[in-house]
Amino acid sequence: MERHNRVLVVACGALAKELRYLISALDSGDKGSAIDLECLPAKLHNRPELIPEAVRGRVRSARGRYRSILVGYADCGTGGLLDKVCQEEGVERLPGPHCYELYAGAEAFARLQDQELGTLYLTDYLVRHFERLILEGLGIAEHPELQEVYFNNYTRLVHLSQESDPELDRLARQAADRLGLRFEKVATGYGGLVDALVEIRERAA
């Protein structure tokens, strides 16, 4: 399939594994998927102010080579700046404020928040890369005193689980223990990400 007949999703690297799986599952087989995926570094989770311009740059570099371009980010802590970039560039992003709500669903996530505001959420990706993205990314590994600065007001760690994997369960509990937080697991599967990909696929048809 010619690229100009395809759709490009410019996405967060933290969603790469799940998006690749879902795109493959939506593949039409002998025709090949109408969707290509390009991911920006997941470490931008720790610097959300950099996300909008990083997305803009990738969108502009791909423009003209694809039938349409969509953004595989929610707002992700950009405070509306990503929406501004999307509007200026004529592209759409995933719905919602962040991937936690996208996985759990808006109503279920709101209930989790109402239960306990001081909650740290980890997806499967963040569990796998907890040391690199949280402990090292936030400087805690080098300066342990920063742990209290960042997490003093947190009381609970919730693992929003996409896959049933005992090793991920172990790592998630280990992360909670490392931060001194009570552990809970909520099995979300792929949640709203499935609906978002189906919509993208329909646009690409």
Three-state DSSP state, 29: coil
At residue 2, does pLDDT exceed 60? no
pLDDT digits (tens, 9 = 90+) for 6-42: 889 999 999 998 998 888 877 654 454 578 999 999 9
CA 157 to chain centre: 17
For the chain, domain boundaries = 3-96+191-204, 106-187
Distance of CA 180 to the CA centre of its chain: 24
Predicted confidence (pLDDT) per residue in 43-73, tens digit: 998 899 999 999 999 999 999 999 889 999 9
- Whole-prediction pTM: 0.86
- 195's enclosing H/E stretch is helix 192-204
Strand order across the beta sheet in which 68-72 lies: 35-40, 7-12, 68-72, 92-93
What is the per-residue pLDDT for 1?
46
**Over 70: is that where the pLDDT of 117 sits?**
yes
Report, at the CATH architecture level, how domain 3-96+191-204 is classified.
Answer: 3-Layer(aba) Sandwich (3.40)
